[in-house]
Amino acid sequence: MDMDKQKILIVGGSSGMGLALARRCLAEGAGVVIAGRGEAKLDAARGELGRPAALETAAVDIGSEDQVAALFQRIDRLDHIVSTAADIEGAYRLLPEIELEAAQRVVESKFYGPLLLAKHGAPQLPANGSLTFVSGIAAYRPAARGAVVAAVNAALEGLVRALAVELAPIRVNAVSPGWVDTPIWEFVAGDKKDDTLAAMAKRLPAGRVGRPQDIADAIRFLIGNGFTTGETLHVEGGQRLV
């Protein structure tokens, strides 16, 4: 796919995997809109990317249908929609400690958000356009404290398969990362982040944890491959095998 003719919306594009994808797409000549809830983070991301003319930013809470609808009214055209957004702060708790408000934030960011992006964004996509969402290894290798995230990731992958049928020929896919060194680990492991990731790296067949660029590469593949839809692409260093 010739990316210099494409325009891509990346929700969650101000950090981590989304920022890595924005950098890659811009380097290939695509027009990019990065969206997120915080104006300050969006401005910082714009600066980190060098403030190119091909980059736009948009503040939006994808858990709000009114805000999602307004977002697509402001964007003149799109070819692809990607969401790497995940609000998991406070979600990793043992069952007796789970607070419903934290669980609801996960659902809003990783399930309702993609649902609303598809509802309001798909009508603007061309027939060869795509939607790509990010689930995660927890759906396949759940652990104590991770029930909410595991359930939402699994639900998102079910949504992807259903939307691939309903929205065809627009393609709908998911990437399922394993452990990736992104700021999200500050919420999961706190000051034990480095030790936690290092321990996992020793277990993985790949010999390391993931980098944001690894996931950006996988999403870029799904954007460009016109014969892949309804799929979950696993990019997790072999974690499902150990």
pLDDT tens, 169-194?
999 999 999 999 987 777 677 778 88
The residue type found at 134 is V
C-alpha distances (whole Å) from 43 to each of 34, 49, 76, 147, 193 are 10, 10, 21, 34, 26
The question of whether 15 is a catalytic residue gets the answer no
**Which option is the CATH number for 3-241: 3.40.50.720, 3.10.450.40, 3.30.160.270, 3.40.50.300?**
3.40.50.720
What does the pLDDT look like over 39-97, one tens digit per residue? 999 999 999 999 999 999 999 999 999 999 999 999 989 999 999 999 988 889 999 99
Closest CA to 82 of 241, 235, 238, 221: 221
Residues in Cβ contact with 40 at an 8 Å cutoff, skipping those fewer than 6 apart: none
∠ Cα 9 14 18 (to 5°): 60
3-class SS of residue 188: helix
What does the pLDDT look like over 116-144, one tens digit per residue? 999 999 999 999 999 999 999 999 999 99
| Cα–Cα distance for residue pair 119/85, rounded to 1 Å | 17
**Catalytic position from the list 14, 130, 135, 176:** 135
Hey, where are the domains in the chain? Answer: 3-241
3-class SS of residue 8: strand
